Chains A and B, each alone.
Chain A
């Protein structure tokens, strides 16, 4: 009797565990199937076309791809140095009394849903961008900045964790030789934790590029490639969030599914690079 229950229990846990692989495969298959119409009708023009005009059955995804790349780039440029600063502050500078509350509040802020960052951006940051940089405030630049603030807590927390993996004995040896804090950071901690730090940046990048709600509020969903950062723009998730419930033709739907698949492939690739190339060592320890 026990033997039967044992086998049933073991195999059911195995089946359920394997279902996660099945779900992921299913997601890719469904998205691919649904995008078939658009892939066949539009081919490579989908990726290179700059015109997105659903009423004319024209679907060019380049403005959305461009928007995703540029807004994420702005977010990374702004967030990376601040995240490094915060991480250095938390791992080396701050006195014990400050370290814990600041560290915990940063982790808690990483848990705040992105829709709230988006809402804050719309009501409080859009007017500032409008006054300082001109334009209507709903823009690529605003989206990049709000995105950078949204990923900052996550990035700072994982960077700090990576820096904290440096063994104390290494740091102490360097201090004993008369190294200043900066000497220890640049010659001991950063070289030691390099892979982890880069990995966490790439992981944050992977999250940022698929982020929907933080940017949907402030980007405008305008399918136009503009070099002016204060002009409204769109990105892949912003297009999906705005247009999915409005699509009225098969080709329109199919194009949106192709966008979803594109987004999934891009973020899967980025996150895999972070995981397999940089964060492998973490798993073993």
Chain B
């Protein structure tokens, strides 16, 4: 066998192996998605959105409590996390730039983005839940805000840096003070990118379960008081899926389906926004 033949054979072997592994990977992921869709669609019904949780065996149980709880917990986290994240990102891009402080903040946020979220739950437990004496929706929001902050901060930082410095210089040349340049020129230029970052940040925290287990805890009924334990889609899903009751498990799949569709749509919208901007 010549050297060339050997190389061609080696090449073919690797090509087959890598295509196979792509197929294996895609197969598993396709499996998960189809399971999610089949079980989710099967369990979906209109009453799921209008009824609260019920003991196992009861008909007409729904996820209204979890949907509303989820919306409130994630909503508060977004309202707090987004402006703070944007302002912090503004500092990095516009003021700190390449300074040591800014670089340290960037590094620490990068690490925080991959840090185990359950640890954030334990932290919030001891600073919010323990002093209050009980679990609460607020505690869940605090945990999610801490997880969201570094994500918004880093994407804002990246997006503002993409705004050409000539735009800033032009505004400065007209005599605008720096805060006006940032608010009216830089923010405007980076609008779409920052918005994408916010969508992805919301998508990321909406799927968090571990930090809610011992902060917002759970409630099988509708509760809109953030000072009390509160249901979320993710924790409800966990509790229902691990229960031995078939009707609860079914509700768990419905929750999984609704949540995944929500998160996937946020991701797809974010992508479309980026693509649209590139076309311009």
Interface set of A (CB-CB < 8 Å, partner B): 2-3, 5-6, 9-10, 12-14, 16-21, 23-24, 26-27, 30-31, 34, 81-86, 88-90, 93-94, 102, 104-109, 111-120, 122-124, 149, 152-153, 156, 180-183, 185, 203, 206-207, 209-213, 216-217, 237, 240-241, 244-245, 256-257, 260-261, 263-264, 267-268, 271-272, 275-276
Q: Which residues of B contact A124 (CB under 8 A)?
A: 31, 35
Q: When chains A and B are docked, how far (Å) is the Cα of A62 from the Cα of B22?
A: 37
Q: When chains A and B are docked, how far (Å) is the Cα of A2 from the Cα of B172?
A: 13
Contact of B263 among A20, A111, A120 (CB under 8 A): A111
Cβ of B161 to closest chain A Cβ, rounded Å: 12
Contact of B256 among A84, A104, A116 (CB under 8 A): A116
Q: Are B118 and A210 in contact (CB under 8 A)?
A: yes
Give the one of A210, A256, A276 with max B CB within 10 A.
A210
Q: Which residues of A contact B104 (CB under 8 A)?
A: 21
Q: Are A24 and B116 in contact (CB under 8 A)?
A: no
Main secondary structure of the interface of A (DSSP, over half): helix
Tell whether A112 pairs with B260 under 8 Å between CB atoms, given A183-B11, A264-B119.
yes
Tell whether A20 pairs with B264 under 8 Å between CB atoms, given A14-B91, A115-B209.
no
Q: Which residues of B contact A275 (CB under 8 A)?
A: 107, 110-111
B242 at the interface (CB under 8 A from A): yes
Q: Are A212 and B210 in contact (CB under 8 A)?
A: yes
Give the number of chain B interface residues (Cβ < 8 Å): 90
Q: Are A113 and B260 in contact (CB under 8 A)?
A: yes
Q: Which residues of A contact B178 (CB under 8 A)?
A: 6, 9-10
Q: Which residues of A contact B88 (CB under 8 A)?
A: 13, 16-17, 19-20
Contact of A245 among B22, B87, B217 (CB under 8 A): B217
Cβ of A215 to closest chain B Cβ, rounded Å: 11
Q: Are A85 and B18 in contact (CB under 8 A)?
A: yes
Q: Are B264 and A108 in contact (CB under 8 A)?
A: yes
Closest chain A residue to B249, Cβ basis: A123
Tell whether A111 pairs with B264 under 8 Å between CB atoms, given A106-B29, A153-B29.
yes
Q: When chains A and B are docked, how far (Å) is the Cα of A193 from the Cα of B93?
A: 28
23 contacts across the A-B interface (CB closer than 8 A): A10-B91, A18-B105, A19-B88, A20-B109, A20-B149, A27-B123, A89-B21, A89-B22, A108-B264, A109-B33, A115-B237, A115-B256, A122-B242, A180-B7, A180-B8, A182-B11, A207-B114, A210-B115, A237-B116, A244-B122, A264-B115, A264-B116, A267-B114
Q: When chains A and B are docked, how far (Å) is the Cα of A206 from the Cα of B110?
A: 12
Cβ of A137 to closest chain B Cβ, rounded Å: 14
Closest chain B residue to A120, Cβ basis: B32
B179 at the interface (CB under 8 A from A): yes
Cβ of A248 to closest chain B Cβ, rounded Å: 14
Q: Are A260 and B119 in contact (CB under 8 A)?
A: yes
Give the one of B19, B118, B127, B234 with max A CB within 10 A.
B118
Q: Are A182 and B14 in contact (CB under 8 A)?
A: yes
Tell whether A115 pairs with B207 under 8 Å between CB atoms, given A9-B179, A183-B7.
yes
Cβ of A115 to closest chain B Cβ, rounded Å: 4
- Beyond A5-B179, A20-B150, A34-B126, 15 additional contacts (C-beta under 8 Å) are A5-B177, A20-B105, A20-B108, A20-B112, A21-B104, A82-B25, A85-B24, A90-B22, A93-B19, A123-B35, A152-B29, A217-B242, A240-B121, A261-B119, A275-B107
Cβ of B197 to closest chain A Cβ, rounded Å: 14
Closest chain A residue to B180, Cβ basis: A2
Q: Which residues of B contact A244 (CB under 8 A)?
A: 121-122, 125, 213-214
| Interface set, chain B 230-251, CB cutoff 8 A to A | 234, 237-238, 241-242, 249
